[in-house]
Amino acid sequence: MSNETTAMLQDLDSIRRFCYQTILDIIGDYIYREKRYETHFSVAIVYSKTPLNIHTQELQKTLRKTDNLICITDNIICIVFDAAKIHSYVKASENLYRTLKSIEYHQHYFIATSFSDDFDENYLELINHLFDRLHYSVKHNCQNSVNYEDYII
């Protein structure tokens, strides 16, 4: 493993420690709607080697009004896609990737996504899986693709 990859993994691990509550706060309203109305959602995390020079206003224009985007650090953004369906949450993340590339084409992104219905209202596990998937993507250099499944090697 290269020094750059090791540094990125260490960066992710340090970010992961403080992100749980931040992401739980972001998805609070979505959790309520899921429990009350069975309206599922998905969460995507985007990580970049260099600080994301994304204009969040420009990216927000491509999202629905009920979706939520937040910058967690200079290198990580989190997007919650409201009213996601089992097959559409991956497509939404792939569209997010295409939008990111159109904004800044030379940047490389690592993207992980999770679907709320897969976690039986265990939202800490959802966040855990997001970071595990992101960790896997960075470790195996799966840049510019969306990781939405767990892999066992």
Pick the closest to residue 80 from 125, 18, 30 (CA basis): 30
Q: Domain 3-147 is classified in which CATH homologous superfamily?
A: Reverse transcriptase/Diguanylate cyclase domain (3.30.70.270)
Task: Say what the pTM is.
Answer: 0.89
> Cα–Cα distance between 49 and 68 in angstroms, integer?
23
pLDDT tens, per residue, the chain with 153 residues? 789 899 999 989 988 888 888 999 999 999 999 999 999 999 999 998 877 755 677 788 888 889 999 888 888 999 999 998 888 888 888 898 898 888 888 888 999 999 999 998 899 999 999 999 999 999 999 988 888 876 554
